[in-house]
Amino acid sequence: MKKNFYITQDGILKRRENTIYFVNKDKRVPIPIEQIHTIYITGNVTLSSQVLRLLSQKKIEVHIFNKHGFYTGSFYPREKYVSGSLIIKQAEHYLNYQKRIYLAKSFVRGAALNIKKNLAYFKISGVSNEIDLILAEMDSATSISEIMNIEARIRIKYYESLDSILPEDFSYVRRTRQPPENRFNALLSFLNSLLYSTILAELYHTQLNPTISYLHEPSERRFSLAYDISEIFKPFIVDRLIFYLINKRIIKTTHFIDDLNACLLNSEGKRIVLRYYDDRLKSTIKHKTLNRSVSYQFLIRLEAYKLIKHLLGLKVYKPFVIWW
């Protein structure tokens, strides 16, 4: 099975024949390109067109994050799976308002149900009923803005409830993004960015066009379908990992930098988060339908396949909901 490759240090990617090396002042490391699924770069890395050509030949994506841990962009090789008929169906489900509304509501319902699973998992009482009341408004929602508002209110209730079980040094307080203002938000922003790029990598291995989305508005500057799907997977890939890192004292206050009004992970903190994030993606569960073990990362691709079946009229899409 191919694996993800993370570059957290500054350096240069160099090509020699059909091999790529990561080089800096301390070392020269060959990258096993035939074994690589996706490359994630959080350091300051220089790479040549020769490197990009080889990565394109091998169909390897590169996702780049800035020094603050924010996703900045991707090298997206020429698509290897292209289906004109599926793109037409994707566009049709966006242009047909009722079809778009159904998918937008599905993503939010999936997210809400997984959030409720987390509340039970974290043993936080009372909030689940409040989320049910907000989610009930979905039945009468007739616009994307209403659905987005419902999603936002559910997440506010959810995140605010987390302070009851978080240590004071990692309290949530309120959601802040660019820049995050405290340690919890710094972890949340970094891991959300990682999840977004992971979903994009999985979409690349399907025939879906990642620029056509339903809950989030399609944009010329981002692959917005990854944002749609990420709503479903944030609760159990991102949020549960954050609590694991905090509660096990794997991530500590010393792994953060306070910079003016921003709080950011330092280099060591990023390396720790990346290691445990990769482990989380490799974690497996016994799939109820397939009756075999699949990784968390492969669950994302299965979700994309479910969406394809819905778009083609083969099976109505139902969002993935965790059962553990």
- Tell me whether residue 48 is in a domain: yes
Residue 162 sits in the same domain as residue 231: yes
Q: 184 and 235 in one domain?
A: yes
Contacting residues for 23 by C-beta, under 8 A, at least 6 apart? 11, 12, 13, 14, 29
pTM of the model: 0.89
Backbone angles phi, psi at 143, to 5 degrees: -135, 155
Question: What pLDDT does 220 receive?
Answer: 62
Residues 244 and 268 in one domain: yes
Q: Bin 105: left if φ > 0, else alpha if -120 < ψ < 50, else beta.
A: alpha
pLDDT in tens, 302-311: 999 999 999 9
d(CA 300, CA 131): 25
For the chain, residues with pLDDT lower than 70 are: 79-82, 177-178, 220-221
Cα diameter, the chain: 61
Structure-token pair, residue 246: 């905090």
Q: Which of 75, 92, 120 is the last residue of a domain?
A: 75
Domain coverage including residue 156: 84-311
pLDDT tens figures, 262-279: 888 999 999 999 999 999
Predicted confidence (pLDDT) per residue in 148-187, tens digit: 999 999 999 999 998 888 998 998 877 876 678 889 999 9
> Would you state the pLDDT for residue 245?
96
For residues 101 and 47, membership in a common domain is answered with no
Asked if residue 168 belongs to a domain, the reply is: yes
| Dihedral of the alpha carbons of 244, 182, 179, 143, in degrees to the nearest 10 | 70
Q: Which amino acid is at 87?
A: I
Rg (CA), the chain: 20
Name the helix (H) or strand (E) containing 170: none
Residue 229 sits in the same domain as residue 264: yes
pLDDT at 17: 84
